[in-house]
Amino acid sequence: MRLVNLRFVYATLIGLVLAGIVHIAAVLAIPVLSEKDAVSRAGTSENLDHPQPIYTVATGDDPSPPEAWLPIPDPAVAVGVCAYDLADGPMRVSARTGPLSLSLAAHARRGAFYAVTDQAAVRGALDLVILTRAQYDEALAEDDENDPSRDVRIVAPDTRGVVVVRVIAGLPSQRPGANAAVQAVSCTTDSAADDTNGKDPTAKPAGR
């Protein structure tokens, strides 16, 4: 009798372990197997030099648009995305601060890996450069000690991803400004020389 009970317990434990392994593997495989994840959906914005509007805040008689494929937790937040492919070069996202709160969040297929707000701006400018490890090492090696770059350089876990731009409209009168602030953000692909100097004289729209 005891032998039968031990076999039952042993079989139950094995079943639970296998079920747990299958569940974890299925969850981890979702970003890889999904054909309609955020990175894929935002791919059309790679040819733009400004964020692709995902959600614009309602102004006046214009109602808020229906929720897009990116979840919008707050109807008072204007949202846009910039897709990038680091195979084309480092991705530079430049924003100028204003009276409205602005944030940038970099996402890869497995989720967000970096976020920053306008509180980190230097002299009213926020420049975020996303690179591969090789691009980062190259830019670091070529930095001028007498004129260091003010860019915020971030090494991405994947070559493709998106940067989500959010601007908060705290008051109804600020809604047009929030929509405009999202579109005022610049998304470009840097050449190696541009990233080294922290300047952007010949940057081209991301993905081109």
Q: By the 8 A CB rule, do 73 and 44 touch?
A: no
Give the list of residues 6+ apart from residue 184 with CB closer than 8 angstroms, or none. 50, 95, 96
Q: How many domains does the chain have?
A: 2
Q: What is the pTM of this model?
A: 0.68
What percentage of residues in the chain have a pLDDT greater than 90? Answer: 29
pLDDT at 201: 38
Structural domain that includes position 20: 1-33
Q: Is 95 in the same domain as 1? A: no
Confidence of residue 65 (pLDDT cuts 50, 70, 90): low
pLDDT at 27: 77
Express each pLDDT in 9-40 by its tens digit.
Answer: 778 888 888 998 998 988 777 666 555 556 66
Q: Is 11 in the same domain as 95? A: no
